[in-house]
Amino acid sequence: MLIAISTLAVLLILVGWKFKKQRAVHIPAMSLAFLIDLGLLLYIELNRHAIATLQKTMSSGADEGLLYFHVSVSAFMLVLYFVQIGTGIRLAKGREVSRVFHRNAAGLFLACRLLNYVTSFFVVSNL
């Protein structure tokens, strides 16, 4: 079920990216993807105790490199979400100076989200 919800978020991000020049599609798709991802993060932490599980897994000698990579990419992705929201709001208010930064950060964000998605399959199978 969580994979399906995560897949929906990724698809919404891809829709938002595809329609980046059409604000009526881009903004709602990206906003909904953010809300879904934030909800997933909260659900995973509250129901699966992700941080405690991570600490336990680390001490058991499981595939630490992959797990550290997944957590690092996930944390950076969340930071980039807020960067994208901030610059997106500025763009919506007509501050065109934010456009280049928003576009460049979007590429990095997309890469992080896709890496997060792919590594989540391996992390879940190793826990």
Q: Which two tokens stand for residue 17?
A: 């990216």
Asked whether the beta carbons of 39 and 2 are under 8 A apart, the reply is: no
Report if pTM > 0.85. Answer: no
pLDDT in tens for each of the 127 residues of the chain?
A: 888 999 999 999 999 999 999 999 999 999 999 999 999 988 887 876 666 666 666 555 556 778 888 888 989 999 999 999 999 999 999 999 999 999 999 999 999 999 999 998 887 765 5
Q: Give CA separation, 103 vs 6, 50, 71, 85, 86, in Å.
A: 23, 32, 24, 12, 13
Asked whether the beta carbons of 103 and 91 are under 8 A apart, the reply is: no
